[in-house]
Amino acid sequence: MNTSKVVIISTGGTIAMRYDPVQKGVFPAVTGQELVEAIPPLVEVYPIEVYEFSNIPSPHMTPQLMLKLAQKVEQILATENVRGIVITHGTDTLEETAYFLSLILQSNKPVCLTAAMRSSAEISPDGPKNVLDAVRTAAASEASGKGVMVVMNQEIHSARDVTKTHTASIDTFKSPFWGPIGYVDEDRILFQREVKNLDKIITNRIIEDVYLVKLAAGSDDFLIQALVDKEVKGIVVEGLGRGNIPPAVIPGIKRAIHKKIPVVLATRVPMGRVLDIYGYEGGAKPLKEMGVIFAGELSGQKARIKLMLALSKTNCSEELVKYF
């Protein structure tokens, strides 16, 4: 007899919302248990237990809540008869929560995040199918050791690579350049590639005072100077191309580094790495020589999550480079 189970942790999001005719909008209203009960095939897939962590729209998710969620996930995964975990979440910040969990969780058991782009008030809501697919993935033996995954629209993505690419399409979650690591078919879970170099930052705290600044043509250093004046703990700059910036931004970055505020450089381009190829003023090469830390392939929002966790270990730039 199979005594193991998959635990579904509900956090809220569109998947747990209903239309309110009085306020004329969609609001959080469905409990985790109600969500599961609305998907009858779940009981045929694997034994299920439900834990309601929160019921919030995902723009209300914070890094501090992510930390509490991670601690609860680790606690549940330590239970011997838990096969894996599915977390239902809003789509807007799902990739950040998924990446946070992928960095901090120590268990090799499967953790799958899923969501919905259409609420139960709309025609053909996608939530029930996504939850069903996520449970099937979390229960699959092949899912062990794959890190935290996002299961949406029958695709399985690595938390490190995935991002939301469309505001409304159900096919919104993509892993630019790399693609999904697998997919959910009618009769089985199929993994097509391995996820290598899964970074870990094991900590029980975070440094939240980290900001993300996105650059564009003609940007200056006003926002960065304001952050230096605020004495923030870290700054992530989302630059252009290979990690280049307008020259007017340089004084702010220099001042931040002089004040011992770590500056991490990501790119606003959805695919490719930050690299020190260009040596002109504002190019990535002189920025690296100045002490700026490169985020590699990480998006600005994920680099911010990583810096928050890394700063709980050290605020030394030479040590922080090792985490990136």
At residue 310, the pLDDT reads 98
Report which of 255, 261, 250 is spatially closest to residue 283, judged by C-alpha positions: 250
At residue 106, the pLDDT reads 96
Q: Answer yes or no: is pLDDT of 250 > 80.
A: yes
Mean pLDDT for the chain? 94
Q: How far apart are CA 317 and CA 294, in angstroms?
A: 11
Catalytic residue among 14, 88, 97, 114: 14
Region 117-134: mean pLDDT is 89
Domains of the chain, first to last = 5-191 (3.40.50.1170), 210-323 (3.40.50.40)
Residue with tokens 């939530």: 127
Return the percent helix, strand and coil in the chain, to nearest 5.
Answer: 30, 25, 45
Q: How confident is the model at residue 27 (pLDDT cuts 50, 70, 90)?
A: low
**What does the DSSP 8-state code read for residue 292?**
P
pLDDT tens for residues 73-115?
999 999 999 999 999 999 999 999 999 999 999 999 999 999 9
Q: Answer yes or no: is pLDDT of 26 > 90.
A: no
pTM across the whole model? 0.95
What is the residue-wise DSSP string for 113-155? Answer: EE--SS-TTSSS-SHHHHHHHHHHHHH-GGGTTS-EEEEETTE
Amino acid code (one letter) for 201: I
Q: Residue 309 corresponds to which tokens in the numbers above?
A: 């966790």
Q: Do residues 273 and 302 lie in contact, with contact meaning Cβ atoms separated by under 8 Å? A: no
At residue 36, the pLDDT reads 79
31 has catalytic annotation: no
